[in-house]
Chain A
Amino acid sequence: MSGESVSTGRKRPRRSGRFLPYILLSPLVLFIGALALYPTIVTTVQAFFTVNPLDPPTRFAGLANFRALWHNPFVRESAANTVLYIIVGVGLSTLFGLGMALVLQRRSHWRGVILALIVLPWALPAVVEAVIWGWIYDPTFGVLNSVLKSLGIINGYHVWIGIGRVVSIVLIELVQVWQITPLAALLILAALQSIPQELYEAARVDGAGRWEMFRRITLPLVRPGLAVAMVESLILSLNVFDQVYVLNGFAPGGASIMLQTYQISFNNLNFGQGYALSLLATFATMLLSLLILAVVYRRVEF
């Protein structure tokens, strides 16, 4: 009797579930289809069209949008800027994230509190953070100038953002690094905690030092976490917009590709070129993500 009811019980979800799964999934499919996949297709197709409310109708343009972008010096400059944003963003957030994760790896009484404070920058809106950092970087009253001068590192107050291109970009990206490092730290920490302790104990018995254990055990085994963290940072820094918009406006010295896309599309209303630039940026995102995965990711089994 009980055996019978168990067997029908097992079958039940499958039998009543002929249409049920599709009913449960329909809102999701509708949302993703209409507001993620369809827009992506529109972007891909209309990149090859002239789409401009000031220059109707919408018509096929071949590669004209891409050619126009190629010859636009502001687009080229923003592409170069974005490469720098990515290098600084991925490099620093991975380095800082790994450092934080290593320090937090050891469980202690205070870890919960420390974690809560570290996660804080990740939880706040980037726009607000950029405004706060803008005040820190302020040329006349900023605390950065004040501290550096007190320490004797600089002689007089500096204008930090808007003068030198590299310095501007590094400092703007530092604001994003501040925000995204906690995410990298958590992802790497999760990978660190999945490494079996026995490996370290065995290495210690064999007389391995701290550095050797880090190089031979930690670093290889943390690679999946590093890879995910780096891809996250890549996507975020390739998309950098809020911090640039607040700290540098549309000044070309710091403009990112995302800012350029916004300007072409919503200030100039040249949607066709906006689509084309978006398509290129989407491809760049995918290619670079795959590159990071190919170089950094290794399947780890214990």
Chain B
Amino acid sequence: MGRRRGLQRVARVVLIAVILVWSTFPIYWALNTSFTTLSGAQSVPAHFVPSPFTAHNYRTLLNTSAGGVGNQFWRSFLNSTIESGLATVLTVAIALFAAYAFARLEFRGKRVILVVVLATLLLPVYATLIPLYRIMSNVHLVNTYLGIVLVYTSGFLPLAIWIMYNYFASVPRELEEAAFVDGATPVIALWRVMIPVSLPGIAATAIIVFLMGWAQFIFPLVLSSDLTTQPVTVIVAALNGQRIVPFTLLNAIGVLAAALPAVIALVLNRYIVQGVMAGSIK
């Protein structure tokens, strides 16, 4: 029995190691490539630590003279930050009020509206891509921050509603009853009681929405035509397609483009896991 236990323990550790290597090796490989020279990266067989080690690729990106790769990258980085950030703020603000209404207020048509909103969760990109481009083109919002933020927000709202609705529904009603006894209106109860109690759920929603915004590709590919609004994903794909930028530099760009979501995912992991698991099974 004791030997079997030991064997199971070893098997478990090996399995965890395999899972960790699978999950992190490609990221390590990008780091490894980004910190070496082109000839270092092109050695056969491959070097598993950067040799020779150099930060040259990152220094190249610090040169932001107009038209250069560094300029393109940092401008698109700024665009990604603005677009994902604004979409997150707008989505969370709208979802807060709507999820509260769904979770706590009684009104005619509630079920129908909730079901229709959640049904749009199942709409694939196909259903809306072309019309959204044509709508934005008609109202002259192609290649503007506003157009992109509006499209992102409409796409992220259903998921945000779903996570927050579940969170609000799990908050005991007694907490607000006390506020109502003191004569609070529902909006005040939302502000003074619900929001403070639900901060973890709101954080989870905001983080997941921001990560979704940062990862967007096909919509900005269609809606952005130049560097005034193109996010980092579009620039990375374009530089990759041109085959001019050396692979070591391209990996450095990839590492920086992934750095913000990676840090968010590592530091705020607790909220993401909660958010996904909370909205998962009902």
Contact = CB atoms under 8 A, between A and B. Distances in A.
A202 interface: no
A87 to B, nearest CB: 18
A40 B121 CA distance: 13
Q: Is the interface of A mostly helix, strand, loop or mixed?
A: helix
A183 B177 contact: no
Interface in A108-159: 112, 114-129, 131-136, 138, 140-143, 146-147, 149-150, 157
A126 B217 contact: yes
A190 B130 contact: no
Contact of A143 (B46, B125, B134, B211): B46
Interface stretch (B63-71, B196-204, B258-266): B258-266
B265 A116 contact: yes
Given A13-B104, A32-B157, A241 B217 contact: yes
A190 B218 contact: no
Contacts of B264: 123
> Which of B24, B116, B123, B257 counts the most A-chain CB atoms under 10 A from its CB?
B123
B101 A120 contact: no
A133 B185 CA distance: 54
Interface string A33-58: 01111111011001000000000000
> Which of A29, A100, A135 counts the most B-chain CB atoms under 10 A from its CB?
A135
B184 to A, nearest CB: 8
Interface stretch (A16-24, A60-68, A160-168): A16-24
Contact of B15 (A103, A115, A123, A133): A103
A239 B124 contact: yes
B133 to A, nearest CB: 8
Nearest to A100: B19
Interface residues of B, number: 96
A31 B217 CA distance: 21
A258 interface: yes
A176 interface: no
Interface in A239-265: 239, 241-242, 245-246, 249, 258, 261-262, 265
Nearest to B11: A103
Contact of B266 (A39, A100, A116): A116
Interface string A86-104: 0000000000000110010
A39 B131 contact: yes
Given A13-B186, A31-B94, A183 B276 contact: yes
> Which of A5, A117, A225, A241 counts the most B-chain CB atoms under 10 A from its CB?
A117
Given A35-B128, A40-B131, A261-B126, 6 more contacts: A16-B186, A36-B158, A106-B12, A117-B266, A121-B26, A194-B281
Interface of B: 12, 15-16, 19-20, 22-24, 26-27, 29-30, 33, 41-46, 94-95, 97-98, 100-101, 104-107, 110, 113, 116-117, 120, 122-135, 150-151, 153-155, 157-158, 161, 177, 180-181, 183, 185-187, 189, 211, 214-215, 217-218, 222, 232-234, 236-237, 240-241, 247, 250-251, 254, 257-258, 261-262, 264-266, 269-270, 272-273, 276-277, 280-281
